[in-house]
Amino acid sequence: MDSYDVLVVGGGSAGLMAAGRAAELGKRVLLLEKNRRVGEKLRISGGGRCNITNAEGDARVLMRAYGKAEQFLYSTFSQFGNKDTFSFFESKALPLVVQARKRAFPNTEHASDVVKTLENYMRQSGVTVKTGKQVTSVLSDAKRITAVVCGKEQFAAKEYIFATGSLSHPETGSTGDGFNWLQKLGHTVVPPTPTIVPIKVADAWAHLLAGVSLTFMKITFFVDGRKSFSKTGKVLFTHFGLSGPLILNSSSKVADLLYAGAVTATIDAYPHTDLGALEKNILHTFDTYKNKALKNVLKEVVPEGTVKGILALLEGKLDVATKVHSVTREERKLLARLLKALPLSVEGLMGFDRAVIADGGVPLNEIDMRTMRSKRVPNLFIVGDFLHVNRPSGGYSLQLCWSTGYVAGTHA
């Protein structure tokens, strides 16, 4: 049985960074990956473009995005933060470009280039990579891990880094196997829930708009008719409901609301125009096209691509075959109110199969966050999506992986 200085289980973003860093510092490193190649989830991240980090320049503002984990992460991010991520990839001939909402991408906009960069980093540092190796169990004595088992093979090391990820995108191999190992080793594991995930709605009008993307919409969520919270941003309609950055970053709050009662929502299609001004805009448009049928003029007053859905909502409320010069003042008001509050009934959240990120994992108080070393198992380091950290989309998840992976690799 070969023995190594450091054994990394999991070839995702955190594992690749950890393995490369430990080997760069002169350690004999083995990385085991269950898939036939490393970086499967990384290859599809950001829609295949890879939102590599968030370029927020104020460290405190950046850390606040991690919610309750903020207080634990300062020591980790002080060793490798988002500025270090820029330096790391740019020093390896992969410049980054910053786009809307401070999201940073490789300038090629190909996630595969991020994987190649990390593979080169490991190769140059001397990491031994074994793919198609699924760890089936972890051996330990009373205090330490002694080996990991892959079928009939065993691999041993002085130090172990677990980086197999949570449950999002199970098709990439993220099936949460490692949570069982961690529990057997004495760690608490918070059950994972899909936290950045699309929302399922019951409304037929919304389903009719599948594929339509709307920018700068305001969505407001209600529980049993009482307003809970609002957010403004981009909404993507899907065949099952809603997705897009605005929705993904609202889903963890919506998950909590679903426990409290019946959840509904409204979309304000014109959040920067008040109701009176919107009515005037509609009246002006109707004056311009006064001899046309309402159904043929709607495209001039509703957001692009939404006519089919709005027509469905108006059914039974307005005769859309009416010439606009015959539309009454009350009917114009009805249309304006509708556009300021398109109604939705939230059925729930989509599952792990559609989750961008799942939370759950080891509570941070069970880990020395200065090193990522387990407080329960002295030769174990825990990184990336194994950590119970709730975070929004926008580069924060990968930054957590780069930071924890680098720190673990340094201290292992």
pLDDT digits (tens, 9 = 90+) for 205-242: 999 999 999 888 999 999 989 999 999 988 999 888 88
pTM above 0.75, yes or no: no
Helix H segments across 236-341?
245-248, 251-260, 275-288, 294-297, 307-314, 329-340
- Tokens 């075959």 belong to 321
Q: Write down the pLDDT at residue 172.
A: 39
Domains (range + CATH), the chain: 3-193+357-411 (3.50.50.60), 198-350 (no CATH)
- Taking only the tens place, the pLDDT of each residue in 162-211 is 998 755 444 434 456 788 899 999 999 887 665 667 888 999 999 999 99
The more confident residue out of 327 and 244 is: 327
289-342: pLDDT as tens digits:
989 999 999 999 999 999 999 999 999 898 989 998 999 999 999 999 999 999
The angle, 0 to 180 degrees and rounded to 10, between the axes of the packed helices 329-340 and 307-314 is 120
* pLDDT, greater one: 76 or 190: 76
- Give pLDDT, residue 240: 86
User: By mean pLDDT, which of 10-14, 273-277, 301-305, 391-395 is the weakest?
Assistant: 391-395
Ramachandran assignment for 171, one of left (phi > 0), alpha (psi -120 to 50 degrees), beta (any other) = alpha
β-pairing, 194-196 with 380-382?
unpaired
Please give the pLDDT value at position 27.
98
* Helix axis angle, 396-411 to 82-91, nearest 10°: 80
Q: Which of 360, 358, 359, 378 is nearest to 368 (CA)?
A: 378
Stretch (H or E) spanning 153: strand 153-162
Average pLDDT, stretch 98-121?
93
Neighbour-count burial for 231-242, b at 16+ CB within 10 Å, e otherwise: bebbbbbbebbb
Q: pLDDT value at position 197?
A: 74
What percent of the chain stands above pLDDT 70?
93
Higher pLDDT, 147 or 359: 147
